[in-house]
Amino acid sequence: MRVYHSSRQIVEFPAVKIKNYTKDFSWGFYCTDDLHAVRIWTKERREKPIINVYEYKEDSNLNVLCFEKMTDEWLNFIMKCRRGFVHHYDIVIGPMLDDHIKRDVEDYFNGNLSRQAFWEKVQHKKPIDQVSFHTIRALTHLKYIGSERLC
């Protein structure tokens, strides 16, 4: 599977990023398999944008959690991860909180939106899938292919 990582720099050697905040699926190295979507997202959000390209070789020995679509399980997992939960998965795959869905999730997290109202608001939204690598073991299955600088 080919995956793409948005950055301001060439990232030949990916690393699990641990920061002051956690992302959708906790700390990790985040990619997507949607080249068109990552090009649009990168151009909108980055100065001197670069898309790094990798080939991911699947391994059945890795502990992978996959959310096929937005579900209650996905929402609960994101809620826990964004509050600091650190899981034991090597890789997590599933819908990304884009700007539109992120606002709705934050409203739900803050108690300004019921779960039912959340699902009513997002039921027709189609988020981009993300592939997040959370362990060094998982990163060893990524082969750097190259980078593309966007104008």
pLDDT in tens, 92-104: 999 998 777 888 8
CA–CA separation, 148 and 139 (whole Å): 20
Q: Is residue 31 part of a domain?
A: yes
Q: Is residue 122 part of a domain?
A: no
Q: Is residue 103 part of a domain?
A: no
Q: Is residue 111 part of a domain?
A: no
pLDDT in tens, 115-143: 999 999 888 888 889 999 999 999 999 99
Q: Is residue 134 part of a domain?
A: yes
Q: Give the predicted TM-score (pTM) of the model.
A: 0.89
CA–CA separation, 108 and 72 (whole Å): 12
Residue range of the domain that includes 17: 2-96+128-149
Q: Is residue 139 part of a domain?
A: yes
Token pair 């956690």 in the structure block, residue = 22
